[in-house]
Amino acid sequence: MTTALEDMFVRTRNENRAALIAYLPAGFPSQQGCKDAIAVLAKAGVDAVEIGYPYSDPVMDGPTIQQAADMSLKAGTGAAEVFSTLKFAHDCGLPTVVMTYWNPIERYGVERFADDMAKNGGSGVVTPDLTIEESERWKNSASSSGINRIYVVAPSTTDARLALVTAQCSGFVYAASLMGVTGARTDLSSSGHDLVARVRKATDLPVAVGLGVSTRAQARTVAGYADGVIVGSAFIKALLEAKSEESGLEALSTLARELVAGVREGR
C-alpha cells in the first residue's frame, strides 16, 4: 500500500511538473493560526505540507525557523499539538510529513511515534540528524506503520554515501541544496542542480530540494530539475513580518500562489 505522499509524486510526474511542499512549524504563529495557515496553503494549491516539530536545539534550522520554533515552544507546542496539526493537514487533503530531530522521537517512544504518525494520516518523517547506521529501530517501526523514511543528503555527501542513504529512503530524498542552515536566499547555488543529478544516478525515488527558495523565479528554476521544491523560511517570514495573523494569512496566500505558479512553469 502506498502513502499519500507517494501517490502525489506519481501524479505530479504524470503531469510533468514538480511538487511544491510547504514547511511550517506546528504551533506557529499560534496553534489555531498554524491550522489556518495550512488551510490557506491548501487553497493556494500547494501539493504537500511538511510540519516542523519545534525543537530547542536545532542543527539544520536558520534564524527564521528558529524564531518561529521558539514562539511555538513558548506557546506549549509538544507532540500532541504536532499530531493534531498533522491530522488537520491530512483532513485538508494534503499529503503530510513531519520534520523532526531524533530526540523527540526517542523521548516519545519510537514505535509509538511511528504508529501515531500513521493514525493521524501522516505519510512520513524527515529525520535530518538521524544517520542510517543508527536507524535500524526507526526503519523497522516506520515499515511496520506504513510510513515513509526520508533522509537528508547534502552537496558534501559522497557518491558512495548517496547510494547507501538513498537505499534506505522512501517517499522522496530530501536534497539540501547548499551547505549551511535553512533560510531564504537572494541567489541560488548551482550545487542543488549538481546534487540532484548525482542523486538520480543512485535512485529512482523522487528528489525534493530544500533550503533557499523564496521567489517565483527561484521556484521555477528548481522545478526545472527537481521533483519537489520545499519552501519554509519564506512562508514563515511572511507570517512573522505581518502586523496581525489575518494580514499574515493574506501575505501567505499571495506568496503561495506565486510559488505554485513558479513551480508549474518549471518545465
Supply the mean pLDDT for the chain.
92
> Strands across the sheet with 19-25, in order?
148-150, 124-126, 96-99, 48-52, 19-25, 228-231, 207-210, 173-176, 152-153
Q: Which pLDDT tens digit goes with each residue over 61-109? A: 668 878 888 888 899 999 999 999 999 999 999 999 999 999 999 999 9
7-30 pLDDT, tens digit per residue, is 999 999 999 999 999 999 999 999
- Output the pLDDT for position 70: 86
Confirm if 154 and 195 have CB atoms less than 8 A apart: yes
- pLDDT at residue 179 greater than cutoff 50: no
Residue 61 is predicted with a pLDDT of 60
In the prediction, which pLDDT does 181 show?
42
Q: What is the percent of the chain where pLDDT is above 90?
A: 83
Number of structural domains in the chain: 1
Closest CA to 97 of 127, 139, 66, 76: 127
Cell of 131: 544517520
CATH number of the domain within which 13 lies? 3.20.20.70
Distances (CA, A) of 202 to 84, 129, 199: 36, 21, 5
Percent of the chain as helix, strand, coil, to the nearest 5: 50, 15, 35
Say what the pLDDT of residue 166 is.
97
| Residues with Cβ within 8 Å of residue 199, at least 6 apart in sequence | 153, 162, 166, 173, 175, 207
Cα distance between residue 186 and residue 111, in whole Å: 41
Domain enclosing residue 248, as ranges:
4-264
Which pLDDT belongs to residue 141?
A: 98
Mean of pLDDT values over 119-128: 97
**In this model, does residue 125 exceed pLDDT 70?**
yes
| pLDDT for res 59 | 59
- The catalytic residues are 50, 61
Whole-model pTM: value is: 0.93
Question: For residue 267, what pLDDT is reported?
Answer: 85
Q: Which of 213, 252, 231 is nearest to 47 (CA)?
A: 231
CA distances from 172 to 19, 26, 44, 149, 205 (A): 11, 22, 23, 8, 6
Q: Does residue 184 surpass a pLDDT of 60?
A: no
pLDDT at 57: 67
